[in-house]
Amino acid sequence: MTRSEAAPLQVIQNRWYAVIASSELGAERPIGRRRFGIDVVFWRDGDGRVAVAADRCPHRRAKLSLGRVKKGCVECPFHGFTFDSEGACRSIPAHPDRPIPRAMRLETATVREAHGYVWLWTGPAQAPDDPIPFFDFEGFSRAGSEHTEPVEVHYTLAIENQLDFAHLPFVHASTIGRSMPPGPMNVRTEVDGDRIRAWLDGEDTFLELLGPNIWRLRISASLYQQIAFVPVDERRMIYYARTYQRVVTVPGLDWVFGAFQRAVNPFILRQDSRVVEAIPNGETRLRDMGEVLVPSDAAIIAYRRWREAGRGPLAAFSDRPVEAEDPGLIATSTLVRRAPEPASAAGSLDEAV
């Protein structure tokens, strides 16, 4: 891609990543976010469907997220160019009667909305029509519980932290690790496709990762914590945390229960962040990490093996180079050109045009 920013992250290719919550995106304004090391803009088209593109107008590189949504198109705040959900330029206000250059288009990606998230397909294969995989929370409420927590770690470090039983009695000794004194642990791990489940012998509680970036913790049959690990760039990510519960099912009261969880969960996540942010930051790999893993790291090892099998560059946003036969608007400029003269060191406006 032609960008001034750093190369995007390595990802699990041909998977859906949760990238924002549906609740972040209204109908009238685009929003700008950084995801996978790329500045992107999200908006809703005329039918309410989500669209995403690199947050850069191809005309003068202005941020489209500072603009507005007009008739389902994102409008550039600089000169009013509009672009549809496929990335095609639909209007250039200064030249309404002239052909729009084919190169005047956005780099877009495939997105879909489900389960209260917006999901981005990493490519390079075409996105399937099948439903996006998620956990079965039929009959559960997440009302009032949603919370986001930005942290200064690569998202793989955050995932591995949440696959680790052995840290609980130490990092969370004052909260969720109170009932788990330090001692022998026999961690069981099961891998089934993109699902990695881990549990302790004799315990009903389990951790489950649904790759590439969705996780849940079973506390009881009626209570789960759920997280989306959303990649920002090589050194940052965001926890999108929820509580799914059927402890309180009365409408309104379920929101109060969720709001209590929303107040507690950030404190627990910050206990993790205090330790994990101090680890050397960067993508975790199966080998050459300078670590000595032990049997209680079984789920982390399983995750690294699974990740190595599908790891590759993000292919979601496609390059669309300027075509040689496409002269653009410059060829129809109304500027009067003088006869050619020897070029000066500084050049001239006519020559620049």
Which CATH number covers residue 223?
3.90.380.10
240 shares a domain with 106: no
Confidence of residue 142 (pLDDT cuts 50, 70, 90): very high
Question: Does 329 map to a domain?
Answer: no
294 shares a domain with 176: yes
Q: What is the CATH number for 85?
A: 2.102.10.10
Statement: residue 57 has pLDDT above 60: yes
168 shares a domain with 91: no
Of 79, 97, 127, the position where a domain reaches its end is 127
171 shares a domain with 73: no
Domain count, the chain: 2
Confidence of residue 166 (pLDDT cuts 50, 70, 90): confident
Question: Does 337 map to a domain?
Answer: no
- Range of the structural domain that residue 74 is part of: 14-127
Question: Phi first, then psi: what are they for 227, rounded to 5°?
Answer: -135, 140
Statement: residue 211 has pLDDT above 90: yes
CA distance 50 to 52: 7
Of 66, 98, 127, the position where a domain reaches its end is 127
Statement: residue 235 has pLDDT above 90: yes
Question: Does 140 map to a domain?
Answer: no
Statement: residue 73 has pLDDT above 70: yes
Confidence of residue 348 (pLDDT cuts 50, 70, 90): very low
173 shares a domain with 204: yes
Question: Does 160 map to a domain?
Answer: yes
117 shares a domain with 174: no
Question: Does 165 map to a domain?
Answer: yes
251 shares a domain with 157: yes
| Of 260 and 320, more confident | 260
What is the maximum alpha-carbon separation in the chain? Answer: 88
Contact predicate 58/319, CB 8 Å: no
Question: Does 334 map to a domain?
Answer: no
151 shares a domain with 104: no
179 shares a domain with 280: yes
Q: What is the DSSP letter of 88?
A: B
172 shares a domain with 94: no
pLDDT of residue 351: 36
Question: Does 141 map to a domain?
Answer: no
- Of 2-16, 141-155, 177-191, the range with the lowest mean pLDDT is 2-16
Question: Does 294 map to a domain?
Answer: yes
151 shares a domain with 83: no
Share of the chain above pLDDT 90, in %: 74
**DSSP secondary structure of 54-70:** ES--TTT---GGGSEEE
195 shares a domain with 229: yes
Q: Is 284 exposed, middle or buried, given 0-12, 13-18 or 19+ CB atoms closer than 10 A?
A: middle
Residues sharing a CB contact under 8 Å with residue 189, sequence separation 6 or more, in sequence order: 196, 197, 198, 298, 299, 302
Confidence of residue 182 (pLDDT cuts 50, 70, 90): confident
Question: Could you give the C-alpha distances from 268 to 174, 222, 273, in angstroms and in order?
Answer: 9, 20, 9
Confidence of residue 175 (pLDDT cuts 50, 70, 90): confident
Confidence of residue 330 (pLDDT cuts 50, 70, 90): very low
